[in-house]
Amino acid sequence: MPDYWLLYLIIIFLAYVVFLLLREKEKGAKHQISLHDLPLGVCLVSREGKILWLDQLFITLTGTKAESGDQFGASFPEYWAKPGLYPWRERLLNVVAQEIRWQKEEAMLYLCQDLTEDIRALAGEKADRPVLLLAQLDNRAEVFKTVEEEQRPYVIGALERTLAEWVENLHGFLYPLGESRYLLLLTQGQLQRAEREQFSILDKIRAIKEGNTIPLTLSMGIGLAGQGQLGELGRLAQAALELAQERGGDQVVLKSPEQVRFFGGKSLSQEKRTKVKTRLMAETLKEMILRSSQVMLMGHTMADFDSMGACLALFKAVRDLGRQGWIVKDVRNPAAERLLELFPCGTEKALLPAGEGWRKLQDKTMLIVVDTHKPSLLPEAGLLERMESIAVIDHHRRGEEFIERADLVYLESYASSSCELVAELLQYIGEPVKLGAEEASALLAGMTMDTKNFLFQTGARTFAAASYLRKLGADPAAVRKLQKDDLRSVVQRAEVISKARIVYGEIALSAGTERSEEAQLLAAKAADAMLNINGVNGSFVLWPTGEGVVAISARSNGKFNVQVIMEGLGGGGHLTVAAAQVPGTVEEVEEQLLNALEEVFEKGEDTP
């Protein structure tokens, strides 16, 4: 056990002391210190397993009546030859075995110490340390819109009663802070109980029916620190609650100085952003661009239409505001090449291959990151440390990894796509920014791809943004043409679908074998098709890229949270649409995916 490494060193030292004393005892020397003075039980065993000598403390600790001349194996287990902490007759004994020379013969020296009370005290101390929780109802305003005014107190009453019963069952403390926000205090021992139950309070809150047509959802942030200082716990809990809500709510985030863990996240995110917030974000973004000397734009590696479409539209806005713009992309990017077919000649001169962006740096350079918030997914992450200012525009649920230096963060997991967010922002930036039909079509292509032709993750704002782009001249026929595949890709996708197998009775899984620079797009289309198989609630398709990386696309019909699975593999997304890029071979990555699925289904839940 790591907590006792120092104790092991002490015992080894004492073993050496015992050996010296035994050797001197063999010589008949007299000493001021004797073996009986040591705080350890001592037993000397011959090579044949016969007990040569043992002290009274060893007999007392082990609770046996063994004597010199008895066989050691008749009273004690053979595995004691390996040092460790062993349960023994309702006690916890730390046993160290050491080979020595005794009377010119090989022998085994056993040292034994009782750590029962020490471990109980330590465990009790940790279990009693405080844990601070902040809980907040995610959708109070949205739920109240569907409930008559006289019925609203019953909704809140049911919420608080359910929460109070859960806390009382854990023997914790609950205090309302107002506006459906609550402070909870638990101990680490009580928190462990809640973890074992996978925070069942989330399911109980969603099950409340008091005239509301929209289910209630709760977010909870938990602060966990080693020594339990309340100031540090409060900061951690607040940061955890904000992270839970940025990820779409209906989940628990446990944050400690060492790690972040996630629980829940079973429901679809509800549209909550307001036009006021969008306008403020647009004004701030415009001011940041005007304060900069030039602007670099960057999406994620293996950029898709959503990532590249957002970059191209923002590039036009930057140019209209009188600043030089650059788009940093993968060295080879099929999505960019397809979208550039919509644009006049010359636009490609603003594209910089990854690794070349630093050559264009100058004072007051601004970076706008779109469609991701993870540094590890950027084609040239080294630019982050060299920028005057950074803005992040993304629609994925926030993960533990984040661009911490961002000056502006517009992260809305309720949006269908980054192109939807960019389309709204550019409306409010206003003059002198004027998007052309090319930029409008690029944004519409990104929205169409991420929503699977407006079937998934769509809201009223999604269709409003699409309508705005159509007014600007976006061409649906051109977008449709961009989505077409060549015959070889169609055949490859059909082969992958034909090899699909069903695991856990509801998950379709398959993999491509031929490397492709469009692996992410091919995998996405295959996963979409496999989700149409009767009885399938989730689909996963793996496809190797040309860079020793396997692209994974994951889809679900809402009954299975694919975002949690992809996040565990270094990716992200939404409950119904997610993806990841994992280094390794198809076989290695498939094994990782199956292990992640096994962990989920071992919990016995419909969704993770």
Of 66-75, 117-126, 463-472, 571-580, the range with the lowest mean pLDDT is 117-126
Summarised one tens digit per residue, pLDDT across range 301-320 is 888 899 999 999 999 999 99
* Least confident stretch, 26-30, 37-41, 63-67, 507-511: 26-30
Residue 83 binned pLDDT confidence (cut-offs 50, 70, 90): low
pLDDT higher at 262 or 369 = 369
- pLDDT digit string (tens) for 105-150? 888 888 888 877 766 665 555 667 888 999 999 888 888 888 888 8
Lowest mean pLDDT among 167-171, 228-232, 514-518: 228-232
Tokens describing residue 213: 């047509």
Residues belonging to the chain: 608
| Residue 575 predicted with pLDDT over 60 | yes
Q: At what angle do helices 437-450 and 418-429 cross, to 10 degrees?
A: 150
At residue 160, the pLDDT reads: 93
Question: What pLDDT is stored for residue 296 in this prediction?
Answer: 97
Please count the CA atoms within 13 angstroms of the CA of 188 that sit on its side-chain side: 16
Which are the contacts of 588, defined by CB distance < 8 A and separation ≥ 6? none
Q: Which of 529, 540, 457 is nearest to 506 (CA)?
A: 540
In this predicted structure, what is the pLDDT of residue 476? 93
282 versus 334: the higher-pLDDT residue is 282
Q: Establish whether the linkage from the previous residue to 432 is cis, with ω within 30° of 0.
A: yes
- The answer to whether residue 221 scores a pLDDT higher than 50 is yes
Q: For residue 2, is pLDDT > 50?
A: no
For residue 264, the model assigns a pLDDT of 81
Q: Looking at the DSSP assignment, which residues form a beta bridge with residue 255?
A: 223, 260
Q: Return the pLDDT at 366.
A: 97
Residue pair 353/303 in contact by the 8 Å Cβ criterion: no
**Checking phi first, is residue 362 left (phi over 0); if not, alpha (psi -120 to 50) or beta?**
beta
pLDDT at residue 22 greater than cutoff 70: no
User: In this structure, what token pair is assigned to residue 359?
Assistant: 């050559």
| pLDDT the model gives residue 268 | 56
Residue 14 has pLDDT above 70, yes or no: no
pLDDT at 69: 87
pLDDT for the residue numbered 273: 60
pLDDT of 81 reads: 63
Average pLDDT for 407-420: 90
Asked if 506 contacts 538 with a C-beta cutoff of 8 angstroms, the reply is yes
- 504 burial (CB, 10 Å; 0-12 / 13-18 / 19+) is middle
- Binned at pLDDT 50, 70 and 90, residue 266 comes out as low
Give me the torsion for CA of 115, 119, 122, 128, rounded to 10°.
-150
How does the average pLDDT of the chain come out, rounded?
84
Higher pLDDT, 44 or 95: 44
What does DSSP say about strands 408-411 and 389-394: parallel, antiparallel, or unpaired? parallel
What is the predicted pLDDT for the residue at 37? 54
Which token pair is 465? 């943004």
Judge whether 131 and 186 are in contact, CB under 8 Å.
Answer: yes
Per-residue pLDDT at 606: 46
Average pLDDT of span 255-265: 84
Give the Cα separation of 245 and 257 in Å (integer): 20
Convert the pLDDT of each residue in 468-509 to its tens digit: 999 999 999 999 988 888 888 889 889 999 999 999 999 999
Q: What pLDDT score does 161 carry?
A: 94
Distance CA 47, CA 242 (A): 63
* DSSP secondary structure string for all residues of 511-524: E--S--TTHHHHHH
The conformation of residue 397, written as its DSSP 8-state character, comes to P
Strands 41-46 and 51-54 turn out to be antiparallel
pLDDT the model gives residue 13:
47
Round to whole Å and give the CA distance between 339 and 198: 44
pLDDT in tens, 188-199: 888 988 988 889
87 vs 267, residue with greater confidence:
87
Mean pLDDT within 393-418: 88
Is the separation of the CB atoms in 254 and 242 below 8 Å? no
pTM for this model (two decimals): 0.65
All domains in the chain, ordered by first residue:
2-120 (3.30.450.20), 129-264 (3.30.70.270), 275-483 (3.90.1640.10), 487-602 (3.10.310.30)
Question: What is the reported pLDDT for 365?
Answer: 96
- Strand, helix or coil at 66? coil
Euclidean distance between CA atoms 375 and 361, whole angstroms: 19
Reference 573, options 236, 306, 183; nearest CA is: 306
Q: Which residue has the higher pLDDT, 606 or 209?
A: 209
More confident of the two residues 279 and 92: 279
SS3 (DSSP) at 579: strand
- CA angle at residue 147 from 144 to 150, to 5 degrees? 100
What one-letter code names the amino acid at 460? A
SS (H, E, C) 158-210: HHHHHHHHHHHHHCCEEEEEECCEEEEEEEHHHHHHHHHCCCCHHHHHHCCCC
- At residue 214, the pLDDT reads 87
Q: Is 171 exposed, middle or buried (0-12, 13-18, 19+ CB in 10 A)?
A: exposed
Residue with tokens 């429901």: 267
